[in-house]
Amino acid sequence: MRRRRHDVVVVGAGPAGLSAAATAASMGRSVLLLDQAPRPGGQIWRHRAGASLPARARHLLDRVRESGAVHAVATVVDAPAPDTLMVDFGGRVDLVHTAAVVLATGAVERLLPFPGWTLPGVTGVGGLQALLKGGLQVRGRRIVLAGTGPLLYPVAASLATAGARVLAVLEQAPFSAVAKFGTRALRDPHRFVDAVRWRATAWRSAWHHDAWVVRAEGGERLEAVTISVGGRERRIACDWLGAAAGLVPRTELARLLGCALEGEAIAVDATQATSIPGIWAAGECTGVKGDAAAVLEGEIAGATAAGDGGGMASRHAVARGQGIAFGRQLADTFALQPALRTRVTPEAMLCRCEDVRVGAIDPAWTARQAKLWTRVGMGVCQGTVCGVACTALYGWEPPQVRPPLAAPPLAAWARWLTDVDSPTES
């Protein structure tokens, strides 16, 4: 086992983590930036080698490179203490010691069950975007997108640009709420221009509000979906369905470390400090509010973790508040309609890892009782998917988090047990 030491460890190399790492390193701290993805950029700037990125992404990646922060492809699997992380560096598990941790773990999609959602060809909305960025060929493919919030726009545009036939884009929120949100977005010219550009790129698609998928059908894989638009159902033949019910902050590591939550997000103060001394958090894990807020919060978290005493937080207080207000608008506008919960049938799969159907669950149980009696949430994903669904469907508290957060290969554990303990390095 090797022990490493860094002044600041940043978990997550999306907009928030990149910004935190560059800021802390430029203040002279030794910074380790960890992300399980093969390349930095997070969900929004996920890319293959050589792919072109927007100017603001290139700028941030350059800042990280020039700052001297060390980036490693690695997954944090446990946190035995607030100043110690257990990290899987791709087949080698090491302990990393640090005075300051910045959590920038982003968000995951909220996948709510409906009949047929586990068929091959059905993914999340962002999940389909991630597959596309990973090289999925969609030219000529018939695609339906069903979700909620601004993420539908860039995903529909990317699919259309890649040659897919995006037959329908379904937004579950009512038109009146989205129109009100759009009027407010007019005040931010960047957001407005982006939205118009994306919508224009996917101009051939039929865009519907008050609309969602009722069921997905197929044999070996997806063949068609039945959708509900304003209460009227119809069937569309398609090859791919991207369906989700918005984003939810990713908080497993924060919960393992004992950080307090506010709602579904990590609770932070004006300097992005969590309830646990020595741990800061930034970006979508503290609430879903887009990449611009993530970059700003990362800068504040990186600076305070590096010991600036709150100067950066004071300078950015107004902009930070605007980001939080935008997050609230998102939450209000795209609040889930009850029909997304009631469309669930007893036969629908709830926990695909452990093969537990909705009908096996009594909503009067607690999450723990459900886990003990049905094994829901005990599979490979450890409740990352069904835990979020159970919170939305039954109002259960998120299940207790247990290490490891992800299972490193057995060889890595074997090495962990047999390696001679070597001295700390930085």
Ligand X SMILES: Cc1cc2nc3c(=O)[nH]c(=O)nc-3n(C[C@H](O)[C@H](O)[C@H](O)COP(=O)(O)OP(=O)(O)OC[C@H]3O[C@@H](n4cnc5c(N)ncnc54)[C@H](O)[C@@H]3O)c2cc1C
The residues of the shown chain that bind ligand X, judged by CB under 6 A, are 11-17, 34-37, 42-44, 75-76, 104-109, 126-127, 129-130, 151, 154, 247, 250, 253, 283-284, 290-291, 294, 405
CA 420 to chain centre: 37
Shortest distance in whole angstroms from residue 100 CB to ligand X: 17
Smaller CB separation from ligand X, 109 or 354: 109
Alpha-carbon span 366 to 109, nearest angstrom: 23
Closest Cα partner for 370 from 397, 348, 343, 342? 397
In the 8-state DSSP scheme, what is residue 400? P
Alpha-carbon span 158 to 126, nearest angstrom: 11
Closest Cα partner for 286 from 314, 301, 306, 264? 264
Smaller CB separation from ligand X, 169 or 247: 247
Smaller CB separation from ligand X, 105 or 205: 105
Which neighbouring-strand residues pair with 11? 34, 103
Smaller CB separation from ligand X, 152 or 361: 152
Shortest distance in whole angstroms from residue 79 CB to ligand X: 9
Alpha-carbon span 266 to 102, nearest angstrom: 12
Smaller CB separation from ligand X, 127 or 278: 127
Burial 7-30 (b: 16+ CB within 10 A, else e): bbbbbbbbbbbbbbbbbbbbbebb
Smaller CB separation from ligand X, 374 or 384: 384
Shortest distance in whole angstroms from residue 214 CB to ligand X: 23
Shortest distance in whole angstroms from residue 16 CB to ligand X: 3
Shortest distance in whole angstroms from residue 395 CB to ligand X: 23
Shortest distance in whole angstroms from residue 337 CB to ligand X: 21
Burial 390-422 (b: 16+ CB within 10 A, else e): bbbbbebebbebeebbbebeeebeebbeeeeee
